[in-house]
Amino acid sequence: MGEYKDKWLESEKVFRDPVHNYIHIQHQLILDLINSREMQRLRRIKQLGTSSFTFHGAEHSRFSHSLGVYENARKICDIFVRRYPVEKFGKDGWDDNERLVALSAALLHDIGHGAYSHAFEKIFQTNHELITQQIITSKETQVNQILRKMGEDFPEKVANVINKTYPNPQVVQLISSQIDADRMDYLLRDAYYTGTQYGFFDLTRIYRVIRPYEKGIAIQASGMHAVEDYIVSRHQMYMQVYFHPVSRAMEVILDHLLKRAKELYQTRSDYFNYSAVHLLPFFTGEWTLSDYLKLDDGVLNTYFGLWLEDYDEILSDLANRFLNRIPFKSAIASENSLSSVAKMQDLVEKVGFNKDYYTALNDSWDLSYDFYRPEKEKNRTQIEIMLEDGSLKELSTLSPLVRSLTGENFGDLRFYFPKEMLNPENKQEGLFIKDYQAFAKYIYNKEIK
């Protein structure tokens, strides 16, 4: 097992946490991973990205979430080894030799997220899940050097948990399934920091009814209602928080701001050589893992502050809209209204806005719950309910409430545009009043947010 074998801390370390009260660190391996530079970078990346422009309390970081996922996994490991040890339950029991690989994967599951990750990924074609695995397996990182103290193959084991190829399904489902340590933390944490009530569910009850079995993790039938509450809470958080139209408006602006900078770099590389030095490898598409790890939300915000003074009106205006929270307006669209959207985009352009940077169609959809569908390329691990006789039933076959959400995508498609289009007096030139009126006529037949 290497240098860390059986290396428990002489004195347990704790982190104060608003969700879990205390987060308990009991192994030197975990403490060293937390102190690595790659983990510390997550302190500088917001968990909810642009949602803080809507819910001002949502300033929490991916670092705090990662600690929370670790703590959920630690508590579940404790429950499993105490109540369902492999020595007593055999193939349906928990082998506590898996503890450190599970806890490491829980802690590191989000380590590959980048600055404002979703907008950044779209523009620069990065993939945080693949980067997570690269950080874990690359000998360049402190995380990898720490993991290898457990054994040369240990980083690969942790990466395999995250990419779902690890041979023990209990460990995989503990970290990634439809009821896992990750979701159990982010729902409660995001609800707490956004000041909403939607994401709260009875985690204590789920701890009491969760159990391992040969093919993964199940929930005892007596706890089915707590799982129903959890599924509904997740659904509500997506509809009310994660898909909030204003948060999405700010992400559209961020997306267009980065797109404009990337385009301008082609003719103004000298300017970006000093105003966005860490973005240069991404403008050229020749970035390395080291380049990626230099970026965080603060670095990008600093660049945006410099771009405020740029002579390119689109770059400076989008930077201003993002930094000073001037969101686009939106209206619900549909596949049947795309011809109207095209007309509205033309009107936006006619009054002086570049439609490529000042309009967007943004769709956000979530599948609240689904059962296993082997014909799908990306199928889900269904939630299994264990009855008193030990047999298993898929959750939606027992719960009419969950059945009503099963297999259904929820969300919407929105058309985003400058709010000036609804008030022509905000446009300095004051021209094309009829075009503003025509635009408003299209919009007022739709829901404005």
Tens of pLDDT, residues 2-45: 566 668 898 999 999 999 999 999 999 999 999 999 999 999 99
d(CA 208, CA 79): 8
E-strand stretches of 18-161:
21-27
Q: How far is CA 418 from the centre of its chain?
A: 27
pLDDT of residue 429: 55
Could you give the residue range(s) of every CATH 1.20.1250.30 domain in the chain?
244-326
183, 185, 189: which is closest to 55 by C-alpha? 189
pLDDT of residue 448: 45
User: Which residues, listed in sequence order, are joined to residue 16 by a DSSP beta bridge?
Assistant: 22
pLDDT of residue 335: 79
d(CA 91, CA 93): 5
Class of the CATH-defined domain 8-196: mainly alpha
Asked: is 244-326 a CATH 3.30.2130.10 domain? The reply is no
Instruction: Look up tokens 């240069």; give the residue.
Output: 280
Could you give the residue range(s) of every CATH 1.10.3210.10 domain in the chain?
8-196
pLDDT of residue 96: 96
pLDDT of residue 6: 61
CB neighbour list of residue 286: distance below 8 Å, 6 or more residues apart:
none
d(CA 372, CA 216): 14
d(CA 92, CA 213): 4
Q: How far is CA 305 from the centre of its chain?
A: 25
CB 30 within 8 A of CB 105: no
C-alpha dihedral sign at 183, 76, 223, 378: positive
Strand 384-386 and strand 216-220: the pairing is: parallel
Helix residue ranges per DSSP H, 269-410: 269-275, 280-284, 289-293, 297-307, 313-323, 338-350, 355-358, 395-398, 400-403
Instruction: Look up tokens 């209990």; give the residue.
Output: 170
The parts of the chain modelled with pLDDT lower than 70 are 1-6, 373-378, 426-432, 446-449
